[in-house]
Amino acid sequence: MLEMAQDMSSLAGVDLVTELKDIVGHHHVLTEDGATLPYRRGFRFGEGRALAVVMPGSLVEQWRVLQACVQAGVIVIMQAANTGLTGGSTPDGNTYDRDIVIVHSMRMRTIHLIGDGRQVVCLPGATLDQLENMLAPIGREPHSVIGSSCIGASVFGGVSNNSGGALVRRGPAYTDMALFAQVSETGRLQLVNHLGIELGDDPEDILRRVEEGNFPESSINWQAGRGHDDDYARHVREVDADTPARYNADLRRLHEGSGCAGKLGLFAVRLDTFEAEKNPVVFYIGTNATDVLEDVRRHILSSFTELPIAGEYLHRDAFNIAEKYGKDTFVIIRMIGTKRLPAMFAMKNAFDRIADRFSFLPKHFSDRVMQFMSRFFPQHLPARMRDYRDRFEHHLMLKVSASGAQEARDFLKSHFATHEGDFFECTPDEGSKAFLHRFAAAGAAIRYRNVHTDTTENIVALDVALRRNDREWFEVLPKDIEDEIIVKLYYGHYLCHVMHQDYVVRKGYDCMALEHRMLPLLDRRGARYPAEHNFGHLYAAPDDVLAHYRQLDPCNCFNPGIGQATKRRNWVAESLG
């Protein structure tokens, strides 16, 4: 095991911290363990040590911070909202050969509209929720409009990790156009402008112009590249293809900032926006037969004139867990929206840090308090949804445009006249609640674990892309694996055949060993993983993806260890001794 070179008393470390404070100000450099913990610990997974957490307030400051870090020979972990699920934006243990500096970018939240809002240029701290609210008044939407945006996820996080999202027509977050810092093979930091906007040659002048939004029309190249995966709508319709629709190891969707997994220092990305759908219609579908739901998926994708907006799956067990353990999240979002959620999460983390100082208080004290309080909230789910929960094991929420509603209505009437199951057309309020309940399921397993620490070991969370032609899509586990699990939560982006599978593991069982027994079962089914959360430190990246990371970061100084690669400088193989 490597010893981490992390001695705060070292002259080099002290000198670097002093330089970083000179760049961004003393208040924006954190070194104490208690202060840095929220940035060193992942939302669901991962934790390690760091020399410092630095919070630049401008692109020029971020550039100077990166210059100082590269000159000092430390590791840089670029971090935005830190809402990832695989530990990809935090240190992973203490087995590094150099000090780590976390560059936390959430002070830089600027978004510029260009082309009358047809595209946007986003800076490092811009969030999906912020972008959604900015575009709404002009009748447009970003790539993703719900889901992880509910907990303050950043635009950069989606692009860097190829996050897929729920919207069927748009595919994974992707762009050809980015402004980024890259360390060359000789160890020199260089600024690369592939935004498709002429900004000059001097790095700091370029960064100031981007910050200011100084983009004369003549400087913008409208043929510079794609601002989203414009082929995905055709690709997902190929229901007989023997490969998944989207997954993180798909090299066709790895380009510079897109899918970089933190191996570059991103400064700006340029993305397409989309015309907002007016008066969409939601159909709620229930069945006890997996083949019935698969027939629905195949017909919709292969035969509908217009692709649906979204098609989200929820298993009955996930419905039940989310109803109880996601209730406060659901109610809070309904009451105050998503805008204030990041601040609420920050308050929750601060509360937990204080509570952890008192040994007589249980772990995850805030979760226990919130769960107790949620008992007194009124029933939050519509009666028709709860009735379907009682009648059906498998649930599909199908959102279609107003123009596509009649086609969907006619098909569902015809299909369920002769097949097991049923459907109803939601009121606007029911439709909103159905999708919000589906996304509350994503955090429900974490809450369950946190309030049942006496019976649960931890969570195994898999993010799986099934083959487009896979009719046997619902997982059946061997008994020896089932016996180690308390509850399974299955939910996902069904039309894309992307499934999120959370397993709450019984106390005393080895979660990592259990996961290693599960992954070969997915391999035999031709599934790929991860589907949209990126490799982080949980998944081993295949050789071609590791080669891509090496090309982006030849010195292995940005976010080393991603995809379970070596953490050592210059990609030197890990010692087995």
- In order, the DSSP letters of 115-165 are TTTTEEEE-TT-BHHHHHHHHGGGTEE-S--SSGGGGT-BHHHHHHTT---
Ranges 56-65, 189-198, 215-224, 370-379: which has the least confidence: 370-379
Whole-model pTM above 0.85?
Answer: yes
What is the rounded average pLDDT of the residues 106-123? 96
The reply to whether 191 sits in an annotated binding site is no
403 in a labelled binding site: no
The reply, when asked if residue 178 is annotated as ligand binding, is no
State the Rg of the chain over Cα: 23
Domain 1-105+547-571 CATH assignment equals 3.30.43.10: yes
Q: What's residue 6's pLDDT?
A: 43
* CATH code that applies to domain 281-453: 3.30.70.610
Is 243 marked within a binding site? no
- Is 82 annotated as contributing to ligand binding? yes
Query: Where in the chain are the domains?
Result: 1-105+547-571, 111-275, 281-453
pLDDT at 2 over 70: no
Please, what is the average pLDDT of the chain? 91
Do 533 and 477 contact (CB within 8 A), yes or no?
no
Q: Is 513 annotated as a binding residue?
A: no
pLDDT score of 518 more than 90: yes
With a cut of 50, say whether residue 570 has pLDDT above it.
Answer: yes
Do 390 and 428 meet the contact criterion of CB atoms below 8 Å apart?
no
Contact 207, 267 (CB under 8 A): yes
More confident residue, 277 or 123: 123
Please write the tens of the pLDDT for every residue from 309-345.
999 999 999 999 999 999 998 988 888 776 666 667 6
Q: What is the mean pLDDT of residues 105-125?
A: 96
The confidence score (pLDDT) of residue 271 equals 97
Backbone region of residue 29 per phi and psi (left: phi > 0; alpha: psi in -120 to 50; beta: other values):
beta
**Does residue 391 surpass a pLDDT of 80?**
yes
Question: Given a cut of 80, is residue 355 above it in pLDDT?
Answer: no
Q: Is the pLDDT of residue 146 over 80?
A: no
Please tell me whether 286 is known to bind a ligand: no
Q: Confirm or deny that 249 is annotated as ligand binding.
A: no
pLDDT at 74 over 80: yes
- Side chain identity, residue 278: K
- Are 92 and 109 in contact, with CB atoms under 8 Å apart? no
Lowest-pLDDT range of 327-341, 404-418, 441-455: 327-341
Query: Given this model, what pLDDT does residue 153 score?
Result: 82
Residue 200 marked in a binding site: no
- Would you say the CATH fold of 281-453 matches that of 1-105+547-571? no
Q: How confident is the model at residue 114 (pLDDT cuts 50, 70, 90)?
A: very high
What pLDDT, on a 0 to 100 scale, did the predictor assign at position 342? 64
CATH 3.30.465.10 fits 111-275, yes or no: yes
CA dist 88 and 68 (Å) reads 23
Residue 54, pLDDT > 50, answer: yes
